[in-house]
Each structure stands twice: as C-alpha cells, then as structure tokens.
Structure 1
Amino acid sequence: MNKEKQFKDMPNAEKAALVCSWLDEKQGGEIVSLNVADLCSITETICVVSARSIKHAQALADFILERCRDEGVEFLGMEGYKTGDWILVDLNDVIIHVFLADLRGFYNIEGMWAEAERTDYSGENPEHGDD
C-alpha cells in the first residue's frame, strides 16, 4: 500500500499567519513573527508568544498541536512542555517559542533576530492599514 504524506502544502507566510492566529485565539500575548529565511539555515519563520502561566503555555502548545492535526499542518516535535516556562514547537519551516513573560525578556529571541522582518499579530494591536 502506498502511503503518501497528508500535510497541507502552503506558503510559509500563510502558515506563520495561521499559527499566529491560533495563538491569538487562545489569548497568547505579544505575538510576533520574524522572517528569518535569509538569516537562518534551519527554519524560515520564528513566532514568539507570551503566556500568563505554565498552564497557559501548555494550553497554547496543546492547541497548536490540535489545530495542526485538524488542519493537516506538519508537526516535527516539541521541547520544554513538562516545565512549561519555555516551550519550543517545531513545525519545520515555522518554529514557535512560547515563553512566560519574564523569561521572554531574559532570552530576548527578538533581539537575537533584530535584523529579521517583524510582524506583530497580537489582537490588541490591530494595525491593518489605512482606509
């Protein structure tokens, strides 16, 4: 029997926007995506989100996995779920960092990739152009 991959083939920017919308739906804080395609050899986009608590961080990670399964988005792995203060979710060309707020500032992922094109996705900052 021939078993083919059943993952959606979507452009990276669309996938990152989709993942960020999932994080926003579950009330992730300060959601940012960084386009690192020209700067990093292991991924194209890094998404960073703040969680209010360890349980919230775990819920965000669980929701990403659930939606990946439902939507047919490729999932490669996860690190840090048990401790929950920094969870890394690997979707191959999109890597998500779920941080507790104080650790996010300490590790400063956005600062490490300061030259990357940045997009803010948080629901409380709806700057979507002029009319």
Structure 2
Amino acid sequence: MNHTKQGRNELNEKLTFLGSLLLEKKASNVLALDVSIYSGAFEGMILASAGGNRHARSLADHVLEAVKENQLDYLGMEGYQEGEWILLDLNDIIIHIFLDETRLFYNLEGFWTRGREIPLKATGGEHA
C-alpha cells in the first residue's frame, strides 16, 4: 500500500471521481472511504444506494464505462444479475451498489467506521 502524501492524493482523487459518477446517475447515500491503513486487500471503498435493481445495474454500467474510458484497473464484478448488491472490484477500490434494504442488513458502514470519509460532489468530467 502507498501511504505517501502523493499516494493518498491519488486515492482521494480516484474515490472522488468514482463517487461523482454514482452521484451523477442519482445514486443516494454515496459514501467514499479511505481504508488504506486498515485493509491489506484494497485502499478505498465506495458505498452507494440504488432505487431499484435496474437502477443498480445502470449505476454499475456507468462506472464500468468510465473505468474503461479512463483505463482504470478492473478485476471483476459480482451480483449484477440480481441487482440487490453489486460489487465492483477495481483492484485498489471496491464499489458496493446496494438496494436500501440490503445495505441496511449488511451495514458495511458499521464495519468500516474507522475509515476516513472522502467528501464527494457530482462533478462529471474526465479522471485526472
């Protein structure tokens, strides 16, 4: 893991970019966390809620399109068919797209309370 100031800035920028993509497409309760000092498997996590299964799949599609356009790492996806909890593995960042009731049930926010929250806003545009 890269804990240098430059590494943290790059992680923050990537989390902000990916989080803004979800906000653009009307995801709710989007939370971006830097968990780099607590996780050996990944450095950042984004949690987002979707209005329904179709909306969840649309959010995942939107993120994956931007990942491809910006040549970001992509290792895989789980849960797309069901659309209740879609997990996107972007190597150093994991994105969880939930339906509200699934998000409440698993309460990942409660598990990662010590993660550092990264402020988000819908901005769009290209990844730097």
Band of TM-score, shorter chain: 0.7 to 0.9
Which residue identity is paired with 1:62?
D
Q: 1:11 aligns to what SS in structure 2?
A: helix
User: Conserved in 1, the CA contact under 8 Å of 2:35 and 2:44?
Assistant: yes
Q: 1:122, 1:104 → 2: CA distance?
A: 21
Match of 2:36 in 1: 37
Partner of 1:104: 103
Moved more, 114-123 or 62-71: 114-123
Structure 2 equivalent of residue 84 of structure 1: 83
Equivalent residues of 1:30, 1:121 under 8 A apart? no
Task: Find the residue that maps to 2:114 and give its secondary structure.
Answer: coil
Q: Distance between the aligned counterparts of 1:86 and 1:98, measured in 2?
A: 6
Q: Name the CA distance, whole Å, in 2 between partners of 1:120 and 1:28.
A: 15
Mind listing any 5+ residue stretches in structure 1 that lack a counterpart?
Answer: 1-9, 124-131
> How far, CA to CA, are the matches of 2:40 and 2:110 in structure 1?
18
Q: Which has the larger radius of gyration?
A: 1
TM-score by length of structure 2 reads 0.84
Note the residue ranges of structure 2 that are not aligned, 5 or more in a row.
1-8, 123-128
Runs of 4+ in 1 over 6 A off after TM superposition: none
- Which residue of 1 is the match for residue 92 of structure 2? 93
**Superposition RMSD on alpha carbons, in Å?**
1.4
- Offset from partner CA, 1:28-57 (integer Å, 9 cap, x none): 101101111000110000100000000000
How many Å separate the matches in 2 of 1:122 and 1:29? Answer: 12
TM-score (norm 1): 0.82
Deviations, residues 8-40 of structure 1 (Å, cap 9, x unaligned): xx8111111100010011111011011110001
**Structure 1 position 116, deviation (Å):** 1.1
Shift in Å, 1:121: 2.7
Q: Which amino acid aligns with 1:65?
A: L
Instruction: Report the counterpart of residue 18 of structure 1 in structure 2.
Output: 17
Q: Percent identity, aligned pairs only?
A: 39
Task: Name whichever structure is richer in helix by fraction.
Answer: 2
